[in-house]
Amino acid sequence: MSTDTTAPLRNIKARRTTLENIVRNLKTAPVSAWFGMIVILIYAIFAIFAPWLAPHSENEVIGKAYEHGSSLALLGTDQIGRDLYSRLIYGARNTIGIAVITTLVSFLVGGSLGVLAALKRGWLDQGVSRVVDAFLAIPVLIFALMMLAVVGKSVVNLIIILALLDATRVFRLSRAVALNAVVMDYVESAKLRGEGMGWIVFKEIVPNILPPLITEFGLRFCFVFLTISALSFLGVGVQPPTADWGSMVAENKTLITFGNPAPLYPAAAIALLTVAVNFVVDWFLHKTSGLRDGK
């Protein structure tokens, strides 16, 4: 029985080619994309290493309320004397972490149903599509406020509710792009070869619809991130004493009338990350759309 001894060499060459393509694309990336990637990297570092980078713990009271910036509290203190700089760093871990988990769950649910509906069609496609249409007619923020008031204000409930609501948007996109893929010759060839559904989905359909899904992931992350911040600002999102940028704006919003910039720090953090992600998404969409810059 013969074995293919060239397979490891082909895999190494394929990985090398992929790495070379990534490096080439990064070299030609515009300044806006580089700005976005650097900002996202900085945010990720602060979120992952928050306990080591923050000078104080998340809920440690270090002084009096509403103190101005000093060597002890770089950005001052909040309404009960906690370090705003430390809570800003921990807020990156909490707010971004919850948004990433929520977006991943929404794509797992919505993407799976979308591809399955496009592949199976029939009653499954019609049934899920009608349910999705009904949920799409409901404003996300209002529905989330109502559901959180009913089931309780916890991080788990927040993730589940927002993920299911956002999954409806992911379903529509994944179904649309999968419908274009399932009629292609390579899918028909796989069916004629007798390949199973798992092979067809993960080897034929998903690799060919990844670019629009990755782009949508970035956009959906921004929407989820802003929704979580809005819910926290309204008092039904991430609950105290957990540090969250939306709740930090709400807790210190009255200071703006006295010239204290404390509520502007978390607000600026929210805005900067949203802009950075959109810069990267715009560049990725341009690269995968087949368009080229005019000379």
Q: Per residue in 187-225, pLDDT tens?
A: 778 777 877 777 888 888 888 888 888 888 998 999 999
Residue 194 covered by a domain: yes
- Work out the average pLDDT over 119-139: 85
Residue 9 covered by a domain: no
Residue 4 covered by a domain: no
Number of structural domains in the chain = 1
**pLDDT exceeds cutoff 90 at 15:** no
Cβ neighbours, 10 Å, residue 138: 13
Sign of CA dihedral 163, 165, 167, 173: negative
- Three-point CA angle 165, 98, 225, nearest 5°: 65
Q: What is the pTM of this model?
A: 0.86
- CATH for 176: 1.10.3720.10
Residue 149 covered by a domain: yes
Distance CA 274, CA 149 (A): 27
Q: Structural domain of residue 231, as residue ranges?
A: 31-288
Residue 246 covered by a domain: yes
User: Residue holding tokens 């990350």?
Assistant: 273
**pLDDT exceeds cutoff 70 at 20:** no
Residue 90 covered by a domain: yes
The 10s digit of each residue's pLDDT in 39-69 is 999 999 999 999 999 998 888 888 888 888 7
Distance CA 265, CA 272 (A): 11
Q: Which amino acid is at 250?
A: A
Helix axes 122-136, 155-182, angle to 10 degrees: 130
Residue 18 covered by a domain: no
Residue 295 covered by a domain: no
The 10s digit of each residue's pLDDT in 70-106 is 878 888 888 888 899 999 999 999 999 999 999 999 9
